[in-house]
Amino acid sequence: MEKTIYDASNGLWYELRGDYYIPCLTVPAQEERPIGIWGQRHLRYIKTERKALYTELLTSGRLNTYLADINEQATKQMLLLTKQMAECEGVTEQFKEQDQMLWVQRMNNILHRTMEFVNHELIYA
């Protein structure tokens, strides 16, 4: 028996493993980009809650790119919302000079609210 055969009807190569011919399937190469904390959170979410999306992205070779894009969007949205909320609430550098502890409290509050928003809108959506 031949070690590998080609089936012209479906365009696949098959490799002999024991008594069976197994299709030679490979996942396309992915662009390596860092996925960061937001991408990791979204990955954990789609692995458990959206298994079909996860499988489709993994087998098509687009998972890493997808997660890196989610990470970039979440980071940009987080920075923009934090800046806008700080301006609206008057949490400025001048305020920081006047009362540092109150500034830290308000900035932490703003950061937690923006994290909740990003989680709700991008990560767990």
Q: What is the pLDDT of residue 2?
A: 82
Q: pTM of the predicted model, to two decimals?
A: 0.76
pLDDT tens digits, one per residue of 12-57? 889 999 889 899 887 667 678 899 999 999 999 999 999 999 999 9
pLDDT tens digits, one per residue of 59-74? 888 999 999 999 999 9
Reported as type and span, the H/E element at residue 14 is strand 12-17
Reported as type and span, the H/E element at residue 75 is helix 63-88
23-57 burial code (b ≥16 CB/10 A, e <16): eeeeeeebeeeebbebbebbbebbeeeeeeebeeb
